[in-house]
Amino acid sequence: MSQEPPKTVLALDYGEKRIGVAIANTLSRLPSPLTTVNNTENALQTLVELARTHNAYAVVVGLPKGLKGQETPQTSLIRQFIKSLSKSLSVPVYTQDETLSSVRAEEELKQRNVGYNKSSVDELAATYILEDFLTEHSQISV
């Protein structure tokens, strides 16, 4: 009798050019970078396929806000993306404040003294978004 693989949560750091993706499973709840998806006309389908392939229980999308917590033009763009994503997925889509996640990611990569590119930053930013979500929503059974 085969055991079902652990379910996962995916997190997305949405950008106009790329979407960073991070993953955590229901057992460890430790997020790690997964991949970067180029934000083209096929991005939505690619994300849906990633959710299915990785047995996602939920998807978390980083929601940017201004430094004073206000909505920005980017916030509106991402809310539209979330609507499309929600219609395409059969799992819940949550939002998580992503304030300064990319800045944190760049700083960490610099401190590690490793060569990095924008994809690395996007994936690590998604990891921070997922980590924050799991910390703030520990009561959610993921």
pLDDT at 142: 45
**By residue range, what is the domain housing residue 74?**
8-135
pLDDT at 129: 94
Whether 16 is in a domain gets the answer yes
Q: 42 to each of 75, 90, 110, how far by Cα in Å?
A: 21, 18, 32
Whether 24 is in a domain gets the answer yes
Which residue intervals of 10-97 are DSSP H helices?
43-53, 73-88
pTM: 0.87
Q: What is the DSSP string of 78-98?
A: HHHHHHHHHHH-SS-EEEEE-
Please give the chain's pLDDT, 142 residues, in tens.
556 667 899 999 999 999 999 999 877 788 999 999 999 999 999 999 999 999 999 999 999 888 788 888 889 999 999 999 999 999 999 999 887 777 788 787 888 877 767 878 889 889 999 999 998 877 655 4
Whether 1 is in a domain gets the answer no
Give me the number of domains the chain comprises: 1
Return the number of other C-beta atoms located less than 10 Å from residue 14's C-beta: 25
Whether 3 is in a domain gets the answer no
Task: Please tell me the distance from the alpha carbon of residue 129 to that of residue 73, in angstroms, as a whole number.
Answer: 20
Q: Which three-class secondary structure state does DSSP give residue 9?
A: strand
In DSSP terms, which residues pair with 10 in a beta bridge? 23, 59
21 φ/ψ angles, rounded to the nearest 5 degrees: -125, 130
